Structure 1
Amino acid sequence: MRAVLRIGAVLALLAGALLLVADPADAHVTTVAYADLTAAGSTDVRVVFDLQYELLSASAAKAQNDPGLFAQAIGHPQTGAENRVLADHAAAILAYTTARFTVRVDGGPACRPRADGAAEFHERDATDYARFAVRYVCGSAHGRGLLVRSALFPDAEGMVKDTKTIVTYALDGRSGSAALDAAHPQFSTAQPWTERFAEFFRLGAEHLLTGIDHLLFLVALIVSSRRLRDVVLAATCFTAAHSVTFLLAALGIVHAPSRLVEPAIALSIAAVAAWYLWSLRRRPSHRIADPAVPEARSGPSRLALVARLGIVFCFGLVHGLGFASALNIREPWSWTLLWSLLVFNAGIEAVQLAIIAITFPPLALLRRRAPGPAAVLSVVVSAIVLALGLLWFAMRVLGLPGAP
């Protein structure tokens, strides 16, 4: 009995640790800024920004003390007047953006920014964006690489949290992409591909570890699996679906607005837990986890396993759509990002396998030593995941604040 209690305590501590590292408010990227760098001669660089319209207006108005910008942009201006707002307040927008997004030649002074054409209002993934270009005059050849730094829309402004700036570049025979945030605000276009991929691997790992909804999806898979092989296959299938979604999004074949994807993600979490609870409906508790029962030892039938993997794969497509939608992976530069995004998925898979390696063996031992309590634990955990999934689904459908 003491051994059983110890194993149960270890499982409880592990579950608590997972929940502690997952901040519901930060489960998904709040906003994404885009910057596309190309050469404008041997010494100048042209950066095309694409920033959320209302967020840019509010931040620039606050930072540049331009209340007129905030009043016009946020005060529901006349339809079609957004380009006029951007033109009337171009100086404030340029000053805000270039103060927080800097470019310099490696080892040299900062490049001097100036406007390069008028800003254009447009819609991106059902969200209002402003696209405009800035020319950075560097004064020296940028062939040896550029140091790019972004601090756009920081948490300290109190507008949004965890802004990601997706930077793509094609200059001096080099091309690539990077994801910048508060923890990693800068990169060099001369960096080797290994460093660039390492950044996206980290981003994938953080995406899973800081997303409580994705963690609960994984927990539902773990408690509903009888064998280690089954849960590893399910988790890998889930990650493979992420990769397929990114590929299809890059090809422009699929696209779904976040207002549809996010509720579907919450519903998928509830569905995995409900599937497991439904499968137990006609079996008494002593047959659920008793090692003497052949079904408990061997796991589900081949047909049931294939069906389960198919369902997990479909849900993985939905989860992948969530991130592809957040990054709007359907632009012409999506192929530049594709390999980085596959590395992002590798980061997700690595963390998933690590969590499985930590949590599944104690659960399997508990099932052998105390099948009754183990069965109850699995049912309780699944019921909690089901309830949270349904709650988040309702909150996201209704647009209520607080949903991860």
Structure 2
Amino acid sequence: MRSAAPRLPAALLTVVAALLTLLAAGLARPAPAAAHDATTTAYVEVTGTGTAVRAELDLEYDLLMKSAWLYEEAYGAKDRAEQLRQLKANAQAVNAYVTGRFALAHASAACTPRPAGDARVHTRGSRPFAVLTLAYDCPGGAGGSYTVSSALFPDAESFVHSTETIVHYDLDGQRGSQVLTAAEPTLTTGGHHQSRQIADFFLLGMEHLLFGLDHILFLLSLLIGARGLRDVLLAATAFTAAHSVTFLLAAMGVVTVPAAVVEPVIAASIAVMACAGIFLRDREGTGRWRLPVVFLFGLVHGLGFAGALGIDESWSWELLLSLLSFNVGIEAVQLGVIAVVFPLLVLVRRTPAHRWVLPALTAPIVVVSLYWFWDRVTAVPS
């Protein structure tokens, strides 16, 4: 009588099914960080002293044009020259929308906004963003606190949900950063806001990794290809060290690499690590090349992390606090994923089912990452 082969526990089958569902979701859209029909982030720099204040707003182009209730020829424009023409032709509607949803006050009295120069367009990740500059005339003289409020792209408009506005300010010598949301749409300068700043950017880092499917898939590829706990710890350390270095350098403007280069390489790195994890995992000498490759790809992923903050300001301790908090948030989620997934993979490897489970997990990772690579390489620059 032949003994029955051990069966994969139902809990593990459930995990495998959940991971496959997550991977399949990637085929429906390039990646959460690149999708623009779910959520968005607005970036704002506010600077000035006394009565003269300027705000530079960096807003996703098509959402801005839709929110200003313009026609498809405006929000659907793909060519940069046409986008600039549409912004100029519809400047009144665009400015009315922005000034109606973004406000500045000084000493509790509203500041009066006016356009300051023509709008610009640039690419952030794979999406076009419009850069609008507003000059504010504020009442009173020097001193006193400023209040910044944002209600840009609210859920009620139905184009997006859960919009976050990352505000960096330097007003009357007071510097800081804060993430504004629908629940907490206002910041006030003055006082000590370090704890709020740390919490905001820690959560922002967690969200960026947790909902950044490309980074999650790279991490899963590392775990699938690991031969033991030591392998996982070394790979995770190499990846963390590498992306932390380039993240800090890129966010502070020391290193600049176009997103058109970074995004395709990130997609390719996932496919390379996923294939290596299946085909080269048990080959002699794999450990010699694995860590250098992980470190190299980590450098590229760090550049991708930096793009999420939209920081364009000079060095300051406030800037470093934001960057470190964001990076620690990334690491917290990374450790959480490792703590949950790696023990499950160890259990899977102890059953005969690992011969089909691991390739079944790897195949969708490769397909999705290659699709992202093709999509990002062939994207028409705007």
Q: Shorter-normalised TM-score: what interval?
A: 0.7 to 0.9
Describe the SS at the equivalent of 1:256.
coil
Partner of 1:364: 346
Describe the SS at the equivalent of 2:42.
strand
Aligned length: 367
Separation of aligned partners in 2, 1:48 and 1:77: 26
User: What is the CA distance between 1:264 and its match in structure 2?
Assistant: 1.7
Partner of 2:53: 46
User: What is the CA distance between 1:165 and its match in structure 2?
Assistant: 2.7
Partner of 1:11: 15
The correspondence of residues 57-206 of structure 1 with structure 2, limited to 5 A, is 58-59=65-66, 61-62=68-69, 82=84, 86=88, 90-104=91-105, 109=108, 111-115=110-114, 117-121=116-120, 123=122, 127=128, 129-135=130-136, 137=138, 143=144, 145-154=145-154, 156-157=156-157, 163-182=163-182, 185-189=185-189, 190=191, 192-206=193-207
User: What is the CA distance between 1:178 and its match in structure 2?
Assistant: 2.4
Partner of 1:332: 313
User: What is the CA distance between 1:25 and its match in structure 2?
Assistant: 6.6
Separation of aligned partners in 2, 1:78 and 1:305: 46
Which TM-score applies when normalising by structure 1? 0.74
Separation of aligned partners in 1, 2:30 and 2:370: 17
Separation of aligned partners in 2, 1:17 and 1:246: 30
Does structure 1 conserve the Cα–Cα contact (< 8 Å) formed by 2:63 and 2:159?
Answer: no
User: What is the CA distance between 1:164 and its match in structure 2?
Assistant: 4.2
Give the superposed CA RMSD. 3.9
1:223-257: per-residue Cα shift (whole Å, max 9, x none)? 11121232233223223222212233245443232
Partner of 1:316: 298
Separation of aligned partners in 2, 1:26 and 1:185: 27
User: What is the CA distance between 1:354 and its match in structure 2?
Assistant: 0.9
Flag structure 2 segments of 5+ consecutive residues without an equivalent: none
Partner of 1:28: 33
Describe the SS at the equivalent of 1:27.
coil
Describe the SS at the equivalent of 1:344.
helix
Partner of 2:360: 380
Partner of 2:220: 219
Separation of aligned partners in 2, 1:80 and 1:123: 13
1:87-128: per-residue Cα shift (whole Å, max 9, x none)? x755433321121112346xx756232216333536466956
Separation of aligned partners in 1, 2:362 and 2:74: 49
Which amino acid letter does the alignment assign opposite residue 263 of structure 1? P
Partner of 2:208: 207
Separation of aligned partners in 1, 2:346 and 2:218: 19
Does structure 2 conserve the Cα–Cα contact (< 8 Å) formed by 1:27 and 1:207?
Answer: no
1:126-148: per-residue Cα shift (whole Å, max 9, x none)? 956333223153559763x4442
User: What is the CA distance between 1:268 and its match in structure 2?
Assistant: 0.9
Partner of 1:283: none
Flag structure 1 segments of 5+ consecutive residues without an equivalent: 281-287, 289-299
Does structure 2 conserve the Cα–Cα contact (< 8 Å) formed by 1:232 and 1:356?
Answer: no
Separation of aligned partners in 1, 2:159 and 2:170: 31
User: What is the CA distance between 1:311 and its match in structure 2?
Assistant: 1.1
Does structure 2 conserve the Cα–Cα contact (< 8 Å) formed by 1:115 and 1:134?
Answer: yes
- Determine whether 1:354 maps to 2:336: yes
Does structure 2 conserve the Cα–Cα contact (< 8 Å) formed by 1:236 and 1:349?
Answer: no
| Range moving further from structure 2, 125-134 or 94-103 | 125-134
Separation of aligned partners in 2, 1:183 and 1:13: 34
| Range moving further from structure 2, 50-59 or 244-253 | 50-59
Does structure 2 conserve the Cα–Cα contact (< 8 Å) formed by 1:52 and 1:130?
Answer: yes
Partner of 1:284: none
Does structure 2 conserve the Cα–Cα contact (< 8 Å) formed by 1:203 and 1:344?
Answer: yes
Higher Cα radius of gyration? 1
CA distance 1:123–1:26, shift in 2 (3 Å): closer
Separation of aligned partners in 2, 1:77 and 1:27: 23
User: What is the CA distance between 1:326 and its match in structure 2?
Assistant: 5.1
CA distance 1:28–1:79, shift in 2 (3 Å): closer
CA distance 1:315–1:85, shift in 2 (3 Å): closer
Does structure 2 conserve the Cα–Cα contact (< 8 Å) formed by 1:266 and 1:392?
Answer: yes
User: What is the CA distance between 1:365 and its match in structure 2?
Assistant: 3.1
Does structure 2 conserve the Cα–Cα contact (< 8 Å) formed by 1:57 and 1:93?
Answer: yes
Partner of 1:392: 372
Separation of aligned partners in 2, 1:267 and 1:349: 22
User: What is the CA distance between 1:28 and its match in structure 2?
Assistant: 0.5
1:280-301: per-residue Cα shift (whole Å, max 9, x none)? 5xxxxxxx6xxxxxxxxxxx87
**Percent identical residues:** 38
Does structure 2 conserve the Cα–Cα contact (< 8 Å) formed by 1:26 and 1:211?
Answer: yes
Separation of aligned partners in 1, 2:249 and 2:313: 13
Partner of 1:291: none
